[in-house]
Structure 1
Amino acid sequence: MSDVTWPYGTFLQRLGPPVRAALLELGVRRRVPPGQIVIHEGVRESHLVLLEEGLTKVTATLPDGRAALLALRVGGDLVGEMSALNDRPRSASVTTCGPATYRVIQPDRFKMFLKEHPDAALELAAMVSDRLRWSNRRRIDFTSYPVKIRVARVVAELCRTHGRQVRDGVVIDVRLTQPELASICGAAETSIQKALRELRTEGLVDTDYRRITVRDLPRLRRMGELEAGED
């Protein structure tokens, strides 16, 4: 898979070609159907999952039993690194949204890989830092912005990470339910429905069954008070 262009910000994209090739040689490749849980929340296990193809959702169980969507991960992303490095139970589950291919890497092999490739260890630290920054930004959004602006910010970010340019806008290639969007935005589902309705009325987005198309991304970014590169 040396000729693959990995999505920006993923762990494989951060690595140079020789280091990337060395990492891809680790572990056992698996192909799974949609709806497969590849990492189970609360389980004490320490292998890592290196995604090669497909989209996954990272979720955690709330006290009332509902699942909160924490993040989306795509081909090139590494998941499960926290338990691999600190030997603690999984803090979240990772579930495939469609057919997916990934490699299962045992922690001892990954730790040896990091020792042999110090640059990869630095990139791992940078990746974890970026994820923490994203989580912190969501917490700040919850307290600083009304729901409509939170939705604009999240949708603009999804355009960057999962958007596909079409003739009249950007289609977000992630099928999210409104409860999932609500969990990312930290809002009630009814508030999300109202915000999306207002964004549609203003000509910023169109919504179909579990799909969002952004019609005017620059104006959506301005509404979300996002500066260049902030999302």
Structure 2
Amino acid sequence: MRDASAVPPRTVLPRQRDATSVADPTPLVTELAALGREVSADSGTTLVEQGAAQAPVFLVTGGVVKALRSAQPDSAPMLLAIHTRGDVLGVADALLGRPAHLSYTVAKGATLKVVPRTTFLTLVRSNPAVALAMSAGLAQDVQLRDRSLAYAPLDVESRLVAFLDQQGQSCARTSEGWVLFDLGLTQLDLAAAIGASQPSVHKALKKLHKEGKVSTGYRTLYVKQRLSSLALRDEEPGPVGDESGDQV
């Protein structure tokens, strides 16, 4: 990671929250942005290794970060979450005083504010608005995990569609009737996210592309708007990506 203290300060938007939430995430994001040391990291950089002691808390101010966990030391990691601007990483470990239970790896060049655990805990204890925002964020994470796990018994295509639908609500942007996923993810990442093999994900994407529901490019994916967790509408094909290189 590189120190980015020379970069002019900028406003960090809180992550999208449920409209029914009683907690405004702004106080947490604002305080962490003020307290943290800004760093930048290239794609592929590991910010924290699973099992690391005294890992700091991170506020993502730009880019994309993957949250990964391996069940055993020699097993392939599962992609549990994708974090973008306004997300806060490492909160649970800081509160419990335990080693990092996740690894965080940059999927697409990121900037972050790094806050030591002790500083973060002092902030939470002294600021009720921050504590409430933090609690709401943790609750939202649990709900998203529960929704993801509910799709586990379904076939690969259904799990893939559900994953893309979930990410499309917070991490993607729209372009001419299509939802663009420019998150730096590969087919291996998608496979790790839904608990499938890379060949099965490739097969599902190929089928969806043939049906005109998705279009792939270099680590990007276009999905017909609006994507449903249960089925995709039959529409006209969209932009077709370069068939060479590391595609999603």
The aligned residue for residue 173 of structure 1 is 182
Q: State the alpha-carbon separation in 1 of the partners of residues 51 and 94 from structure 2.
A: 14
The aligned residue for residue 193 of structure 1 is 202
Confirm whether residue 217 of structure 1 aligns to residue 199 of structure 2. Answer: no
Select the residue among 120, 133, 138 that pairs with 1:123. Answer: 133
- Give the TM-score, by structure 1 length: 0.84
Select the residue among 86, 89, 94 that pairs with 1:79. Answer: 89
Distance 1:193 1:109, change over 3 A: same
Select the residue among 121, 124, 127 that pairs with 1:111. Answer: 121
The aligned residue for residue 239 of structure 2 is none
Map of 1:24-63 to 2, 5 A cutoff? 24-63=33-72
> What root-mean-square deviation, in Å, do the aligned CA atoms of Structure 1 and Structure 2 show?
2.4
The aligned residue for residue 161 of structure 2 is 152
The aligned residue for residue 228 of structure 1 is none
Distance 1:191 1:34, change over 3 A: closer
Distance 1:42 1:85, change over 3 A: same
Name structure 1 gaps, 5 residues minimum. 225-231
Could you say what secondary structure the match of 2:35 adopts?
coil
Could you say what secondary structure the match of 1:161 adopts?
coil
Residues 13-63 of structure 1: CA deviation (Å, up to 9, x unaligned): 94346x643332213222222222211111111421112122111112243
**Structure (1/2) with the larger helix percentage:** 1
Identity of matched residues, %:
26
Q: State the alpha-carbon separation in 2 of the partners of residues 75 and 197 from structure 1.
A: 31
Name structure 2 gaps, 5 residues minimum. 1-8, 233-248
Q: Structure 2 counterpart of 1:146, which letter?
A: D
Q: CA shift at 1:198, angstroms?
A: 2.0
Q: Structure 1 counterpart of 2:130, which letter?
A: A
